[in-house]
Structure 1
Amino acid sequence: MNETRRAVLAALDDGPVTGPALAERLEVSRTAVWKHVEALRDAGFVVDSVADGYVLAGVPEYGAAAVEFGLDAPFDVEYHDALPSTNDRARELAADGASDVVVLADRQTGGKGRRGREWSSPAGGVWTSLLLRPDVPPARAPLLTLAAAVAVTDAAREAGVDAEIKWPNDVVVSDERDSSGRGGAKLAGVLTEMEGEASRVSWLAVGVGVNVNLDPGELDGEATSVRAEVGDVPRRVFVQRLLERFAALRDDPDDILTAWRERAATIGQRVRVETADGDVVGDAVDVTEHGALVVDTADGAQVVHAGDCQHLRSA
């Protein structure tokens, strides 16, 4: 959404305001005001014409303009009814030089999780990728994946869901009765892709998939959703809170690890991590700034960079 249209929308929200007053305030023609109002109506905003001028009477449920309206974070939003993958689209935008763009889709037809696993992405969830060009060395780029997990957790908690983070990148719903080793039913996942050189990051795409207004029967495996836990929530607001929290963490990276640890379900658990080199069993005691799990094993501390983590019992 361009800046003039943002200004028109803000004025309408404070309305009613007349066309001439808007034109004078924004230093545009009355014809331009009318065109912006019609464009907002086409985007799904309800703009009523009343005796005192225009007034904003309704906001679309979802979409780029809806998410950008009232968003307190420096991102442009690109919305699609359907995409094979929001991360794939983010890579295309990266090749065109874009930055700070949020790719949002109502559904994905080819969503992937870690290790190429299929990720069910029907309409009603939040499927998004944040395209960034962070001014950080590649070694610190994983902090942004941790930040995304924190942002999702906080957005879910604001919606009323008792969410926490299971290493490496899953957001789960807390359940002390759970004995399956899953660490709780999966609510969301984060998948980050990066391109760069030894000394710098060219671009980073942080893919986030959240089961929001979905029935568990629509999901694969032992998953849950916001709907199943607390009922439907406005997806527009959920995405806004996610993006705002992520932006705040991105601007203060020294707080990311602390925030992640405070929300971690895995720290303090007895775990088994399946890695390419075999299982690592011990007590999960910390996570590094690179996103690696520190496990206190019978042979001493081991740092695990990737693997499938199973919670065995409290350490």
Structure 2
Amino acid sequence: MKDTAISVLKILEEASGPVSGERIAEQLGITRSAVWKQIRELRKLGYRISSSRAEGYRLEAATSRLLPYEIQKKLRTQVIGRQIRHFDRTASTSWIGKRLAGETDPEQLHGLVIIAEEQTGGVGRLGRAWVSPAGGIWATIVLKPRIPLDNLFMITMAGAIAIARAIRKEYNISALIKWPNDIFIGDKKVAGLLLELAAEADTVHYALLGIGIDANISLADLPSDLQKTITSLKDEVGHEVDRVALLARILREFELRYRQLEDGEYDSIIREWKTLSLTLEHRVVIKTINKTFEGEAIDIDRHGALIIRKDNGEVERVISGDCFQF
């Protein structure tokens, strides 16, 4: 959104009633024709603005799109989300993050949030396609971690906690975390995360935390095989949710936990993750690249590995793999 459009929008937001085009033009030092042009742009962005020759313009409703201006009004963070890039449609917010990190010093991008209204090539764990239609929250957070390499997986843990906490606080829904990176409501997935690292030796150049949330998507638009395992927040609460408010809260919750990681408060993150776990104390099937086995999920260690007690009494540490619960 251009600065002039934001200025017009602020005048309408602060007004107690209709505002004439002439008054807006005088306040901003532009022509009435330029005011009309900005009003048209705001309408295209989803703002509902009524107009009357006698009274002028009135803002009836804000946009539902995840525009930087709207998110930052509710953000109240120091780093995460202070920079935002918004796209109507893109292949992948992660791909944009990689391109930007290759063109710019990642230090300058730290905390940048890249948002798309729709992704055409979203990718989940193990390169699987992530269906990302309009109505969801599809975002990538660019980070320049100051966290030991062995603890970097805890960025995913912090992100999962942030999403689960935000959903609980916004909608009073019991969202839980399924290891390694999914958020569930009941027995259905509502969100997922993906952490990607650019590193060599002991140096991490940057990290990308991808977030996908089925907020206001229509389940009927998903492939039939996914409709049985996925839910949306809209379906859970019975109406469309305020995506702007939800994403702003997620970013606030994430910044809080990310600071804990930077301060070395790893035990605090692990304890909170455990209180929100859907996986611990449940019987699971683990599938890794090399093998498949069953057992009870009994713990998670400080590196994010799941600890499984197998039927023969052996205890196995799982760093990565698919987890299926009974």
For normalisation by structure 1, the TM-score amounts to 0.80
Q: CA contact under 8 A between 2:138 and 2:211: conserved in structure 1?
A: yes
SS of equivalent to 1:251: helix
Instruction: Tell me which residue corresponds to 2:122.
Output: 111
CA shift, 1:60, in A, is 2.3
Instruction: Tell me which residue corresponds to 2:75.
Output: 71
Q: CA contact under 8 A between 2:8 and 2:38: conserved in structure 1?
A: no
Q: CA contact under 8 A between 1:142 and 1:289: conserved in structure 2?
A: no
Equivalent position amino acid for 1:241 in 2: R
Inter-CA distance 41–307: structure 2 relative to 1 (3 Å threshold): same
Instruction: Tell me which residue corresponds to 1:277.
Output: 290
Task: Please give the residue correspondences for 1:84-233 in structure 2 after superposition, counting only pairs within 5 Å.
Answer: 84-97=91-104, 98-157=109-168, 158-174=170-186, 184-220=187-223, 221=226, 222-231=229-238, 232-233=240-241
CA shift, 1:270, in A, is 1.2
Gap regions ≥5 residues in structure 1:
19-28, 175-183
Equivalent position amino acid for 1:79 in 2: H
Distance 1:274 1:208 in 2: 23
CA shift, 1:70, in A, is 2.0
CA shift, 1:95, in A, is 1.3
The percentage of aligned residue pairs carrying the same residue is: 31
| Root mean square deviation, CA, Å | 3.4
Q: CA contact under 8 A between 1:145 and 1:192: conserved in structure 2?
A: yes
CA-to-aligned-CA distance 1:93-132 (integer Å, 9 cap, x gap): 1112222111111111011111111111110011111111
CA shift, 1:137, in A, is 2.1
Instruction: Tell me which residue corresponds to 1:22.
Output: none
How many residue pairs get matched? 297
SS of equivalent to 1:155: helix
Inter-CA distance 40–277: structure 2 relative to 1 (3 Å threshold): farther
Q: CA contact under 8 A between 1:136 and 1:200: conserved in structure 2?
A: no
Inter-CA distance 11–80: structure 2 relative to 1 (3 Å threshold): same
CA shift, 1:11, in A, is 8.8
Instruction: Tell me which residue corresponds to 1:61.
Output: 64
